[in-house]
């Protein structure tokens, strides 16, 4: 079940369009931080293309359906990857672009980025703190609560809650 706080106004929810767009750009930025973990193991362009589509959607230049196709493509690239950090990095891109469809996917951009960092043997908590600090105050609580609630399901090893 979707978190109602992330339902767009045009779908009867409270999330303003400007915030939906912000979350799409934020999620793309989160995923882009770990994209080198994918490109180190694959020359598949689909995760990078997904991030480009996320930003073009945020600029209002493509429809949500284009973003959803890019998300599916990034997840297909993840399924073809063998390295776990590469898999998670591609999934971060797929989740980020899926924000166009449903804003709560924005959390997946960061969650899978954290998972990619851990799979690569890097600490994830500094990235979590950095990215959460970029959120405007009115989005901090719903996003951070959603992130911390989902961390255990993804096996990310960060202390729960603040």
Q: What is the pLDDT of residues 103-148, one digit of tens each?
A: 999 999 999 999 999 999 999 999 999 999 999 999 999 999 999 9
Q: Domain coordinates of the chain in residue numbers?
A: 19-154
pLDDT of amino acid 3: 87
Q: What is the DSSP letter of 122?
A: -
CA dihedral (94, 99, 105, 108) positive or negative = positive
Residue 96 has a CB neighbour count (10 Å cut-off) of: 37
Q: Label residue 161 left, alpha or beta by phi (over 0 means left) and psi (-120 to 50 means alpha).
A: left
pLDDT of amino acid 158: 79
Each residue of 10-21: pLDDT tens digit?
Answer: 889 999 999 999
Query: pLDDT confidence of 162, banded at 50, 70, 90?
Result: very low
d(CA 134, CA 3): 21
Terminal CA-CA length for the chain: 24
pTM of model > 0.85 = yes
- Asked if 73 contacts 51 with a C-beta cutoff of 8 angstroms, the reply is no
d(CA 35, CA 49): 11
C-alpha to C-alpha distances, 27 to 12, 82, 96, 109, 134, nearest whole angstrom: 23, 24, 5, 5, 11
């Amino acid at each position: 079940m979707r978190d109602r706080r992330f339902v767009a106004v045009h779908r009867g929810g409270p999330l303003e369009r400007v915030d939906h767009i912000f979350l799409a750009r934020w999620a793309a930025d989160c995923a882009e931080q770990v994209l080198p973990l994918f490109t180190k193991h694959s020359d598949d362009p689909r995760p990078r293309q997904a991030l480009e589509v996320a930003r073009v959607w945020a600029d209002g230049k493509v429809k949500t359906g284009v973003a959803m196709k890019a998300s599916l493509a990034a997840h297909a690239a993840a399924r073809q990857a063998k390295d776990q950090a590469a898999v998670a990095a591609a999934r971060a891109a797929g989740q980020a672009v899926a924000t166009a469809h449903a804003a709560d996917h924005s959390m997946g951009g960061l969650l899978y980025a954290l998972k990619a960092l851990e799979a690569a043997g890097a600490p994830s908590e500094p990235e979590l703190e950095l990215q959460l600090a970029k959120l405007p105050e009115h989005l901090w609580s719903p996003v951070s609560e959603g992130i911390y609630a989902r961390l255990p399901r993804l096996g990310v090893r960060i202390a729960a809650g603040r």
